Amino acid sequence: MTEFLQHIVNMLILGSTYALLGIGLTLIFGIMRVVNFAHGELYAFGAYFVYFVSILLGLNFFLSILVAIVAGCLLGALIEVVLLRPMRGADIDTTMLIMIGAMIVMQNGEQYIWGGVAKSVNTPFPQAPLVIGSVSVSWLSVFVFFASLALIAASYLLINRTKLGKAMRATFQDRDTASLMGVNIQMIYMATFALGSSLAAAAGALLGPVYVISPQMGNIASLKAFAIVILGGLGSIGGATIGGFMLAFAEEIGAGYISSGYRDAMGFLIIIAVLLFKPTGLFARAERIG
């Protein structure tokens, strides 16, 4: 029982960060129809940015995270304007190749600038863990959990309660009609990509200090994010959130009680099952095609 409680706590923390990763990707994919292979690199970018600002420039840890999120937002906007805008209307494979190119450039850029030795970020949190009964968790993880939930809630409100969000949802449902109704599609695309990127950077900024920061950290993040989006369904924030927690649950329980060697396989087994029985994902939103 003790062990089970510890697994559940681990799962909640892991799940919150998976959800954050998934939301950014699902928005971009859902609204823009861009398969963003560079998502993991924006995650790595956020982590390196926190390292740069907090360790090398000596800024406050919490401020550094905010700065990294803003930087991720700006980088996302830049990528959209420079790489994606000229390719508007190109088919999904073409933009996918562009994003794969962006991923390779960014990952090698990280290796070039920072070298292959992993970096770590010291945080103001105490090293001694928070212990409640038999369950133990680091203070940093508690902070990451609540920060992730706050960001997920903020994204949800942005999409569902603001005018910008309404325009995004309209674009998702039917781009041409939205455009005819006076929605500035260019602006919506840029905002979507910037928002998705800033969420990836936020996940990296929060998780970089939990793990270690290396040029390859984006690979596994991308993989998980895609899995979560497939699980949750396209363009659905709620789906990505639940998908994130489900993946974390499968991995944690799979590794804890079945076999740690197949930890990553557990998550993908669920995805295969979902694709077999509900190919649109568990929580796909209705969309009108054409």
Partner 1 sequence: MTDKKKFLTVFAAAAMLSASFATQGFAQTIKIGVNEPLTGPFAASGTYVVNGAKIAADEINAKGGVLGKKIELVIEDNKSNPTEAAAVAEKLITNDKVPVIMGAWGSSLTLAVMPKLLEYKVPMIVETSSSGKITTSGNPFIFRISPPSSVEAHAFKDILPKLHIKKADFLVINNDWGRGAAEDFGKVLKANGVQVGYVETMDQAAQDMSAQLSKMKSSDADTIMVTTAVEQLTLVLKQAAALGIKKQIVTTGGSQNPDQLIDQAGAAANGTYHLTTFAPWFPDNTPDPKATNYFLGEWKKRGFNFAGATESFRGYDGIRTIVAGIEKAGKAEPAAIAAAMWDVNFTGLNGKIKFEKQGPAGKESGQSIPNVYLIKIENGKIELPKL
- Where along the sequence are the contacts to partner 1 (CB under 8 A)? 2-3, 6-7, 10, 14, 108, 111, 115-118, 120, 122, 127, 129, 131, 136-138, 140-141, 211-212, 214-217, 219-220, 251-256, 260-261, 263-264
CB 263, CB 200: distance < 8 Å: no
Least Å from the CB of residue 212 to partner 1:
6
Q: Shortest CA distance to 191 belongs to which of 78, 84, 77? A: 77
CB of 140 to partner 1, least distance (A): 8
CB nearer to partner 1: pick between 30 and 209: 209
Least Å distance between CB 273 and partner 1? 21
101-109 — which CB contacts under 8 Å span 24+ positions? 102/37, 102/38, 102/41, 103/37, 103/38, 103/40, 103/41, 103/218, 103/222, 106/38, 106/41, 106/44, 106/45, 106/218, 107/41, 107/44, 107/215, 107/216, 107/218, 107/219, 108/215
**In the complex with partner 1, which residue's Cβ is closer, 261 or 290?**
261
**Residue whose CB is less far from partner 1, 51 or 193:** 51
Indicate the residue among 93 and 127 with the shorter CB distance to partner 1.
127
**Least CB distance to partner 1 at residue 68 (A):** 18
Instruction: State the minimum distance, in angstroms, from the CB of residue 257 to partner 1.
Output: 8
Distance from C-alpha of 265 to C-alpha of 46, rounded to nearest angstrom: 27
CB of 150 to partner 1, least distance (A): 21
Name the residue nearer to partner 1 (CB basis): 127 or 286.
Answer: 127
Spell out the alpha helix ranges (H) of 117-262. 139-161, 163-173, 175-180, 185-207, 217-232, 237-253
**Please, which residue, 34 or 248, has the CB nearer to partner 1?**
248
> In this complex, which beta carbon is closest to partner 1, that of residue 29 or of residue 43?
43
The CA-atom distances, in angstroms, between 261 and each of 26, 182, 224, 250, 266 are: 29, 53, 17, 13, 10
Q: How far is the CB of 136 from partner 1 (least distance, A)?
A: 3
Task: Give every CB contact of residue 244 below 8 A, 6+ residues apart in sequence.
Answer: 15, 16, 17, 18, 19, 20, 21, 22, 228, 232
CB of 242 to partner 1, least distance (A): 19
Is residue 200 within 8 Å of residue 24, measured between CB atoms?
yes
Our CB check for partner 1 shows the closer of 82 and 118 to be: 118
Q: Of 263, 235, 118, nearest to 165 (Cα)?
A: 235
Cβ pair 25, 227 in contact under 8 A:
no
